[in-house]
Amino acid sequence: MTYNKIEQIGPYSFIQAGGQKVTNDPLMLVDFVLPLNDNDRVIDLGTGAGVIPFLIASKSRAKRITGVEIDREACAVFERNIADNNLEDRVEAVLADYRALKSKYKEGEFSLVVANPPYIKAGAGRVSPKQDRALARTEVAGGFKELIEVSRYLAGDKGRIAYVFPVARIFEMLEEVRGAGLKVRRLRFIRTSRSKPAKLFLIEAGRQGELVIEEPVLI
The residue extents of the domains of the chain are 7-164+175-181
Give this prediction's pTM. 0.89
Distance CA 207, CA 180 (A): 9
pLDDT digit string, tens, across residues 31-88? 999 999 999 999 999 999 999 999 999 999 999 999 999 999 999 999 999 999 999 9
Distance CA 59, CA 212 (A): 24
What pLDDT does 23 receive?
Answer: 86
- CATH tag for 7-164+175-181 (out of 3.30.750.24, 3.40.50.150, 3.20.20.70, 2.40.30.10): 3.40.50.150
pLDDT digit string, tens, across residues 119-148? 755 444 444 444 444 344 444 445 888 999
168 has pLDDT over 80: yes
Q: Which of 123, 131, 177, 139 is nearest to 155 (CA)?
A: 177
C-alpha to C-alpha distances, 200 to 84, 157, 166, 203, nearest whole angstrom:
33, 27, 4, 10
C-alpha to C-alpha distances, 93 to 104, 107, 179, nearest whole angstrom:
14, 20, 30
Q: Is 101 left (phi over 0), alpha (psi -120 to 50) or beta?
A: alpha
